[in-house]
Amino acid sequence: MNAAYFITGTDTDAGKTWATVALMEYYQQRGHTVAAMKPVAAGCQWQDGRWQNADALLLQHHASLPLPYHLINPYAYELAVSPHLAGVANPVKIDTIIDSFKQIKIQADVVLVEGAGGWYAPINAHQDISNLAKALELPVILIVAIRLGCINHAKLTHQAIAASGLPCAGWIAVCNDADMPMREENIATLVTALASPLLGVVPYQNQVDFSVLARQLHGLG
Ligand SMILES: Nc1ncnc2c1ncn2[C@@H]1O[C@H](COP(=O)(O)OP(=O)(O)OP(=O)(O)O)[C@@H](O)[C@H]1O
Ligand SMILES: [Mg+2]
């Protein structure tokens, strides 16, 4: 198997990282090696002599192989603000991310690349997440947070992915609102509204168990 996907979401906090780790478990349960990147991360702690981000550390921890932190997260900014603001002194260069991606790709069957924020989140003064996904030439998986407003956000993002010319391999519903009324009805509406396959519904969990979440996914081979 040789596959790679770009993971975007309807917004920041949509569930991209949880869904990415669930996807990593999904592939590992099928006997594939998998790695994931969080190339641009804003909101980091100083740890082991460098800025490190919780998402990137989680992805590093769940990979099938040990990978150095700088490959997984080449741009780690201290402040949890938009990367184009956090990175003024050291702006994102997409070529650097492509280099890291290629180094990881030769080592794993499947590579997942988690974006930052949503599809049009700026990553430097001139480029946004859609430009990064296009430069990497990856099919996109859209993570939809099932909460009030999700239908509008999902349709807008799905349309924007199509406008970028990249294929959308599918979408994943992440139920990260414990009290969402009419959750199933919202998901059914999204199934009709989005012309890409639903790859799974990640249930709400108080205590996360990624191997259980992985079993809710399907359709990616
Ligand atoms: N299935 C779930 N059940 C319960 N809570 C969830 C679930 N998925 C996500 N969450 C909650 O939502 C939060 C945000 O999820 P996650 O970190 O995956 O979002 P994200 O899109 O990666 O955010 P960011 O834009 O910061 O990268 C998690 O920290 C967790 O508290
Ligand atoms: Mg994340």
Instruction: Kindly tell me if the per-residue pLDDT of 163 is higher than 90.
Output: yes
- In this structure, which residue's CA is closest to atom 6 in ligand 1? 176
CATH number for the domain spanning 57: value is: 3.40.50.300
Percent of the chain past pLDDT 70, that is, above it, reads 100
- Distance, CA 176 to ligand 1 centroid (Å)? 7
**Contact assessment for residue 100 and residue 93, using Cβ atoms and an 8 Å cutoff:** no
The reply to whether ligand 1 has any atom less than 6 angstroms from the CB of 183 is no
Model pLDDT for residues 181-214, shown as the tens digit of each residue: 999 999 999 999 999 999 999 999 999 999 999 9
**Residue 79 belongs to a domain:** yes
221 pLDDT tier (thresholds 50, 70, 90) = confident
**Residue 15 belongs to a domain:** yes
**Residue 60 belongs to a domain:** yes
The reply to whether ligand 1 has any atom less than 6 angstroms from the CB of 11 is no
Domain limits for position 103 = 3-214
Residues 221, 219: Cα–Cα separation, whole Å:
6
**Residue 221 belongs to a domain:** no
**Residue 219 belongs to a domain:** no
**Contact assessment for residue 36 and residue 114, using Cβ atoms and an 8 Å cutoff:** yes
- Distance, CA 181 to ligand 1 centroid (Å)? 19
Task: Give residue 196's pLDDT.
Answer: 98
In this prediction, residues 98-121 reach a mean pLDDT of 98
- In this structure, which residue's CA is closest to atom 10 in ligand 1? 176
Mean pLDDT of the chain: 97
**Residue 137 belongs to a domain:** yes
In this prediction, residues 44-72 reach a mean pLDDT of 98
**Residue 103 belongs to a domain:** yes
| Chain centre distance of CA 216 | 17
- Distance, CA 134 to ligand 2 centroid (Å)? 20
In this prediction, residues 114-120 reach a mean pLDDT of 98
Instruction: Kindly tell me if the per-residue pLDDT of 26 is higher than 90.
Output: yes
In this prediction, residues 134-151 reach a mean pLDDT of 98
Starting from the CA of residue 18, give the closest ligand: 1
- Distance, CA 80 to ligand 2 centroid (Å)? 12
Domains contained in the chain, number: 1
**Residue 52 belongs to a domain:** yes
The reply to whether ligand 1 has any atom less than 6 angstroms from the CB of 216 is no
Catalytic positions are 38
